[in-house]
Amino acid sequence: MIDLFKFFGKGESKSKDIAKERLKLVLIHDRANISPKYLDMIKDDVIKVISSYMEIDEEGLDIRLSRIPQEDDTYSTALIANIPIKKVKNLGPNKG
Amino acid sequence: MGEVIVITSGKGGVGKTTATANIGTALALSGKRVVLVDADIGLRNLDVVMGLENRIVYDLVDVVEKVCRLKQALIRDKRFEGLYLLPAAQTKDKTAVSPQQMQELCNQLREEFDYVLIDCPAGIEQGFKNAIAGADKAAVVTVPEVSAVRDADRIIGLLASNDIMDPRLIINRLRLDMVKRGDMMDIDDTIDILGIDLLGVVPDDERVVVSTNRGEPVVLDDDSLAGRAYKNIAKRLMGEDIPIMELNTDEGFLARLKRLFNAGKKRAL
């Protein structure tokens, strides 16, 4: 059945498209020269800053480089952070 | 004053040496004076690919260490007017030569030849630094696979940081059947990722292996698609405007059907 889908060019994504997407992502890191260690350093600092405002799930925190599709069909590189919040600290009424 | 072109890739085994041998031979066949320099010291190979392994007396390291004069180390290829080889040393290693010495060597060679083609070793260390030291231009060889393309990208970056701008790309061993079924990155995919200009596309061709077995460049084989592709690359280097070879990708419905059946058969076995 899978073969039939492939045969008519539908269904599973082509392996070359997977290759291309993986390469593009890995080259973002290679070109930017951002090592996993460097990302960890960013992560630690982000935790420090956010923690003074809210309690976050440090284990669940995820920071990585990603490609964001633009309207003109090009891609831009972005630093994506997913930060699960456990509790927002009550710092009293907001100032300003 | 000749041009010094380094043929490089980062990854090993993608066809740098074969490309150097064939582009050089094609240039010589067009009446140019060409020297092929094997910069892979310790892992000499250009001599066997060219079928000149029995004629080596002196090598590149001998020239640099002034054991002999440059002209004594140059092997004239008797089959092709104007084609010479400067072999690598086999018993030394990459540290036997410095980038500055390579630069001097290239400048000496460009006085005598129209084209100085340097076969770069794999990797990004000393051997690579030596090979690119005296080059004006670069051709980056890759195959349409993730590892080779990734390394090519790294090499393009390193070339730029060494002031060798705008290298041109050779996509080697392209398999049309695989491209057609979406199992191999095609020419556009590869250029899109690497973002440099194309110098040529060499289809996968078993005649390359056959001619290398014999120590004959595949450009001599008129029936070989790869041979024709290398001749086109040589023409483009000489400034001719040659379109990329029209590769027949239209295999039609019946061929797809046949392949489907074959795939089924293989599984059955």
pTM for the model stands at 0.80
Task: With respect to residue A25, please indicate whether it lies within any of the assigned structural domains.
Answer: no
The whole-number average pLDDT for the span B98-112 is 97
Choose the closest CB to B182 out of A14, A26, A30.
Answer: A14
Task: With respect to residue A8, please indicate whether it lies within any of the assigned structural domains.
Answer: no
Contact A19/B145, CB-based, under 8 Å? yes
d(CA B15, CA A9): 32
Is B136 in the A-facing interface, judged by CB distances under 8 Å?
no
pLDDT for B265 equals: 46
B102 token code pair: 């390579």
Q: Where are the alpha helices (DSSP H) in chain B?
A: 16-29, 46-50, 60-64, 70-73, 99-112, 126-133, 146-161, 176-180, 187-194, 206-214, 225-237, 252-268
Count of all residues that appear for chain B in the document = 269
Task: With respect to residue A10, please indicate whether it lies within any of the assigned structural domains.
Answer: no
Say yes or no: ipTM exceeds 0.85.
Answer: no
Choose the closest CB to B146 out of A14, A22, A30.
Answer: A22
Segment (H or E) for B41 = none
Q: Average pLDDT over chain B, rounded to whole?
A: 92
Task: With respect to residue A70, please indicate whether it lies within any of the assigned structural domains.
Answer: yes
pLDDT for B267 equals: 40
Is B263 in the A-facing interface, judged by CB distances under 8 Å?
yes
The whole-number average pLDDT for the span B112-123 is 98
Contact A30/B153, CB-based, under 8 Å? yes
pLDDT for A31 equals: 85
**pLDDT tens digits for B208-222?**
999 999 999 999 999
pLDDT for A79 equals: 85
**pLDDT tens digits for B119-164?**
999 999 999 999 999 999 999 999 999 999 999 999 999 999 999 9
**pLDDT tens digits for A17-70?**
999 999 998 898 888 777 778 888 888 898 999 888 899 998 888 888 777 777
Closest residue on chain A to B254 (Cα): A7
**pLDDT tens digits for B228-262?**
999 999 999 999 999 987 665 444 555 555 555 55
What domains appear along chain B, each with residue ranges and CATH number? 3-268 (3.40.50.300)
- What does DSSP say about strands B83-86 and B198-203: parallel, antiparallel, or unpaired? unpaired
pLDDT for B249 equals: 45
Q: Which residues pair with A4 in a beta bridge?
A: none
Question: Contact at 8 Å (CB) between B100 and B130?
Answer: no
Is B185 in the A-facing interface, judged by CB distances under 8 Å?
yes
* Residue among B11, B193, B259 with most chain A CBs within 10 A, to mutate: B193
> Which residues, other chains included, contact B236 with Cβ-Cβ below 8 Å and sequence gap of 6+?
B199, B200, B242
pLDDT for B166 equals: 95
Task: With respect to residue A7, please indicate whether it lies within any of the assigned structural domains.
Answer: no
Residue B268 has pLDDT above 50, yes or no: no
Is B256 in the A-facing interface, judged by CB distances under 8 Å?
yes
Chain A positions in Cβ-Cβ contact with residue B264 (cut-off 8 Å): 3
Q: Where are the alpha helices (DSSP H) in A1-96?
A: 2-7, 15-32, 36-51
The amino acid that residue B162 corresponds to is N
The range of the structural domain enclosing residue A41 comes to 34-89
Size of interface A-B (CB pairs under 8 A): 43
How many separate domains does chain A show?
1
> Which residues, other chains included, contact B125 with Cβ-Cβ below 8 Å and sequence gap of 6+?
B94
